[in-house]
Amino acid sequence: MWYVIIDESMKILKANITIDISNGEPQMVEKHRSEWTIENKKKANFDNVARKDILYKILDKSMLSKIKTCITAKEFWEKLTQLCEDNDQTKENKLIVAIQKFDNVKMKPGEIMSEFDERFSNIVCELTTLGKSYSNHKIALK
């Protein structure tokens, strides 16, 4: 299954019997869907399984919205790699945004304390991941 993420969607092929074999190996052409066996259908579905059942389940809503236009698992993976690679500029931008979130965090109307605490903890965790930490005193005051 990893093949469809790294390389591309699987193509279901068959030997082309209308062309002479010159080098000892038959030329391969794509099989028409009506010729697919049950095994061929399973292979062809790997892309959907990889993309929907595996990759979609591990992403949060914000990341998912950035890659939802990708059609194949390979496109999906390349976009994720591009979004998650941290060069210095990207890391600095993420840090600035996270600091702004921390500075501006407030309870939303109708939000219960446990929801706010979870949201706030995620912001603090994000900052820590990006190399910024606050003292327990400052976090408690916030």
Q: Domain residues of the chain, as ranges?
A: 2-84, 88-141
What do you get for the CA distance between the two ends of the chain, in Å? 46
- Collect all residues with Cβ–Cβ distance below 8 Å to 130 and sequence separation of at least 6: 91, 94, 95, 98
Is the pLDDT assigned to residue 121 strictly greater than 90?
yes
* C-alpha triplet 99, 101, 105: angle, nearest 5°: 125
- pLDDT of 2 > 70? The answer is no
Q: What is the mean pLDDT of residues 17-41?
A: 75
Mean pLDDT of the chain: 79
Report DSSP state, residue 14: E
The band of 118, judged by pLDDT with boundaries at 50, 70 and 90, is very high
Q: What is the pLDDT of residues 52-81, one digit of tens each?
A: 666 667 777 777 788 778 877 778 778 887
**Contact status, residue 16 vs residue 29, Cβ threshold 8 Å:** yes
